[in-house]
Chain A
Amino acid sequence: MDFQSCVNIKKEWDIVGARQLGRDIAKKVGFGNVDQARIATAISELARNIYLYAGSGKVCFDAIDELNEKGLRIVAIDEGPGIQDVSQVMEDGFSTSGGLGAGLPGVKRLMDEFDVISRQGEGTEIKVVKWLR
């Protein structure tokens, strides 16, 4: 595992910072234009969730560079109220941000691996991975 870098999310502006750092790392890993754009969109979504629902948190990036696989791991962590019903949030058509956000199902589609751990009152950790093909 490579050096880990994080962006703190407090203001809406920080979403752009997270996208920028994520895209730079994705480029270094070797992702093409479409995947870069997808990764950036996923980062937006994760960072916006933190900004809107938790108030603050961070998005961290790991370039995965192992013998037979390369990729990018993104972890979004907050200490917000947590997600009440993860299954419901993962359902298509259930978007709390007024239907404009791709929501978590969108993030899942944009990435290859997806995992959520959420505890009520303690916070949420979302881990996603995109593999380089």
Chain B
Amino acid sequence: MSTLKLDLQTYKDLMKQYIETQNEQALYNAEQFSKHSIQQNISPDEIINVHFQALMELYPDVPDDIRNSMNFLLETMISYGLAYQEYQALREKQLELQSELSVAAKMQQTLLSTVKPEYNQLDVGATSHPAKQMNGDYYHFVEDQEGSLGIAIADVIGKGVPAALCMSMIKYSMDSFPEKRMEPSIVLEGMNRVVERNVDPSMFITMFYGLYDTKDNRFFYSSAGHEPGFYYSAKEDTFKDIEAEGLVLGVDRDTSYKQFEQQVDPGDMIVLLTDGVTECRSGDDFIEREEIAEVIRHYKHLPAQEITDQVYSHFERLQDFQLRDDFTLVILRREV
């Protein structure tokens, strides 16, 4: 960038050059001048004033009528100048908010981080992507001393900061449960009481809790109004919904949750997700649940983590890389 001085003399020289030559170079200089002015937060009314003064100096005999018309123009531009300054101030504020938010998002990632467990007979994959900077989805793995794997997946209805704040609370409540084997129905009943006590009634949280017993490959689960996952049977090569009715968290303090059980055979997959996955859209249409099953089937030869990543990429592309809701997908597959 050239170093233009933003003063009356420079403007006058540039204007004179243009009046004499009317060439493109002079106009290019004008463009540079305005860009520099914007960088220096110079508002449009000031440019008008400089133009006015330059005109007077170059042509001292400008008729009074023209002089007055310049004053008139100046007057009309004052409000534009104000609007411009307000825009600048709001822009700065927005940048500030954005950097604050990205710090918060990083903090949240640390808070909600969970260690993906490693088992010989169980292949685990998990991915979670927020629609905005902060995530209103949550998944968490809990390994207990008796060789069982607990999987929590939850979704706050809504997104952005309020949902994320709510999610942090869920995470801490989960952490406060004892480390011994927890029955899914007991976990959800406990969480229901926490949410009922602490969360605004206008906020809804759905949650699914599953417990995989690695000794006999049985999967126990309960759901609090959560989007049903899929159970993939390798023998039949079919997907079926993991149905488990249950009220969303926080509605009624005394809700009890039914617990279900599923025998898991080698090659079978448990697919858990949030409604950010099922409410993906292509154009204006919601995708069908069968489509998700088909995409998973397409990648089923890959390791579980790669399946979740590929499915996410698929739907991210389908939605033009703009998620409408937080997207979380967890896949467990029995290997042997």
Q: Which residues of A contact B (CB under 8 A)?
A: 33-34, 37-38, 40-41, 92-93, 102, 105-106, 109-110
Does B189 touch A at the CB level, under 8 Å? no
Contact flag A38-B78 (CB < 8 Å), given A33-B49, A105-B86: yes
Cβ A93 vs Cβ B82 within 8 A? no
Cβ A92 vs Cβ B90 within 8 A? yes
- Bound Cα distance from A106 to B83, whole angstroms: 8
- Bound Cα distance from A37 to B78, whole angstroms: 7
B160 to chain A, nearest CB (A): 19
Cβ A92 vs Cβ B93 within 8 A? yes
Residue numbers in B under 8 Å from A106 (CB-CB): 82, 86
- Bound Cα distance from A34 to B45, whole angstroms: 8
Cβ A40 vs Cβ B75 within 8 A? yes
Set A33, A38, A93, A102: member contacting B52, Cβ < 8 A: A33
The 3 closest A-B pairs by CB, nearest first: A102-B82, A34-B49, A106-B82
Of listed B52, B78, B90, B93, residue having the most chain A CB within 10 A: B78
Contact flag A102-B79 (CB < 8 Å), given A33-B71, A109-B85: yes
Does B74 touch A at the CB level, under 8 Å? yes
Residue of B nearest to A35 (CB): B49
Of listed B79, B82, B90, residue having the most chain A CB within 10 A: B82
Convert B277-319 into 0s and 1s, putting 1 for each residue whose CB lies closer than 8 angstroms to a CB of A: 0000000000000000000000000000000000000000000
B48 to chain A, nearest CB (A): 8
Cβ B46 vs Cβ A93 within 8 A? no
B57 to chain A, nearest CB (A): 14
B61 to chain A, nearest CB (A): 19
Residue of B nearest to A110 (CB): B82
Set A41, A92, A93: member contacting B78, Cβ < 8 A: A41
Does B1 touch A at the CB level, under 8 Å? no
Q: Can you report 8 A-B residue pairs in the complex whose CB atoms are below 8 A from each other?
A: A33-B74, A34-B45, A34-B74, A41-B78, A41-B82, A92-B89, A106-B86, A110-B82
Residues 63-108 of B at the A interface (beta carbon under 8 Å): 71, 74-75, 78-79, 82-83, 85-86, 89-90, 93
Cβ A109 vs Cβ B82 within 8 A? yes
Residue numbers in B under 8 Å from A110 (CB-CB): 78, 82
Residue numbers in B under 8 Å from A37 (CB-CB): 45, 71, 74-75, 78
Of listed B52, B79, B89, B93, residue having the most chain A CB within 10 A: B79
A111 to chain B, nearest CB (A): 12
- Bound Cα distance from A92 to B75, whole angstroms: 22
Contact flag A93-B74 (CB < 8 Å), given A34-B45, A102-B79: no
Residues 192-239 of B at the A interface (beta carbon under 8 Å): none
Residue numbers in A under 8 Å from B52 (CB-CB): 33
- Bound Cα distance from A66 to B74, whole angstroms: 30
- Bound Cα distance from A102 to B52, whole angstroms: 24
B93 to chain A, nearest CB (A): 7
A105 to chain B, nearest CB (A): 7
Residue numbers in A under 8 Å from B71 (CB-CB): 33, 37
Of listed A37, A93, A102, A109, residue having the most chain B CB within 10 A: A37
- Bound Cα distance from A92 to B86, whole angstroms: 6
- Bound Cα distance from A109 to B84, whole angstroms: 11
Residue numbers in A under 8 Å from B78 (CB-CB): 37-38, 40-41, 110
Cβ A41 vs Cβ B89 within 8 A? no
B37 to chain A, nearest CB (A): 15
Residue of B nearest to A32 (CB): B49
Contact flag A93-B90 (CB < 8 Å), given A33-B71, A38-B78, A109-B85: yes
Of listed A33, A41, A93, A105, residue having the most chain B CB within 10 A: A33
Contact flag A34-B46 (CB < 8 Å), given A41-B82, A109-B85, A110-B82: yes
Convert B39-70 into 0s and 1s, putting 1 for each residue whose CB lies closer than 8 angstroms to a CB of A: 00000011001001000000000000000000
